[in-house]
Amino acid sequence: MARIRTHTNPFNYFERMKPIDFNEKFPNLKHMDCEIGFGRGIFLREWAKSYPERLMLGIEVRKQIVSVLQERCNKDELDNVWLCNGQGLIFLEDALPKKTLSNVFIFHPDPWFKKRHHNRRVVSHELLAVISERLIEDGLLHISTDVSELWDDILLKIEESKLYEPVENEEFWKKDYSSHWSLFSDRDNRSQFYQSFKLKG
């Protein structure tokens, strides 16, 4: 399959959201994770299948792929998945209370190569601050990309935030990680950059 980048400007989404009570919606699922920009949802579905006791939230700016993934999840009878068409930052800020997420996943975020579009990159100072408030104390933020320039930018923002420290040899990457774009990188033998981060103590 071809590797085609079709970017949707996240700033097209500005409508604020109402808080959502996930405990009420999913009373039997105590642990919550969230993927921002799930794309085809390959990782999200596998994660939800592997960990049926956990609630997996997915937020994605491209409307059409949200419906496609919802249909696939319904077909698989995955009742631990909740998907939303919207913007990651707005969703986390408005809909989720603080200290609720065990894991946040951001895989192969759109690189937005042009300098004037850098502000559309999903990993921003603002998002890092909001994620740090939504993670539980020992929660983890997992990020990957195969774009070296973007990885440098992500690492710099994380360092500047002073909120996170890297977790070495996190087993997640060997055990659970695989996404539509990571499979492209594997196929094309591209270097991949990935790291898990925990909150600074």
Ligand X SMILES: C[S@@+](CC[C@H](N)C(=O)[O-])C[C@H]1O[C@@H](n2cnc3c(N)ncnc32)[C@H](O)[C@@H]1O
Task: Number of residues interacting with ligand X: please give it, by CB under 6 A.
Answer: 22
Q: Which stretch binds ligand X (CB under 6 A): 17-25, 133-141, 162-170, 173-181?
A: 173-181
Q: Which stretch binds ligand X (CB under 6 A): 46-54, 66-74, 105-113, 151-159?
A: 105-113
Residue bearing tokens 């696939």 = 72
Binder among 48, 57, 73, 88 for ligand X (CB under 6 A): 88
Query: Is 181 a residue that touches ligand X (CB under 6 A)?
Result: yes
Residues 149-168 that bind ligand X (CB under 6 A): none
Burial of 167-179, coded b for 16+ CB within 10 Å and e otherwise, reads eeebeebeeebeb
Residue 79 CB neighbour total at 10 angstroms: 14
Query: Is 108 a residue that touches ligand X (CB under 6 A)?
Result: yes
Residue type, 143: I
Residue 27's DSSP bridge partners are none
Query: Is 134 a residue that touches ligand X (CB under 6 A)?
Result: no
Binder among 36, 66, 84, 163 for ligand X (CB under 6 A): 36
Query: Is 146 a residue that touches ligand X (CB under 6 A)?
Result: no
Q: Which stretch binds ligand X (CB under 6 A): 60-68, 153-161, 163-171, 185-193?
A: 60-68
> CA–CA distance from 165 to each of 5, 143, 159, 195 (Å)?
30, 13, 8, 10
Backbone angles phi, psi at 130, to 5 degrees: -65, -40
Which three-class secondary structure state does DSSP give residue 144?
strand
Shortest Å, Cβ 171 to ligand X: 19
Q: Which candidate in 33, 110, 146, 153 is catalytic?
A: 110
DSSP 47-102: HHHH-TTEEEEEEES-HHHHHHHHHHHHHTT-TTEEEEES-HHHIIIIIS-SS-EE
Q: Is 110 a catalytic residue?
A: yes
Binding site for ligand X (CB under 6 A): 8, 10, 36-40, 59-62, 87-88, 107-110, 122, 179-182
Annotated catalytic residues are 110
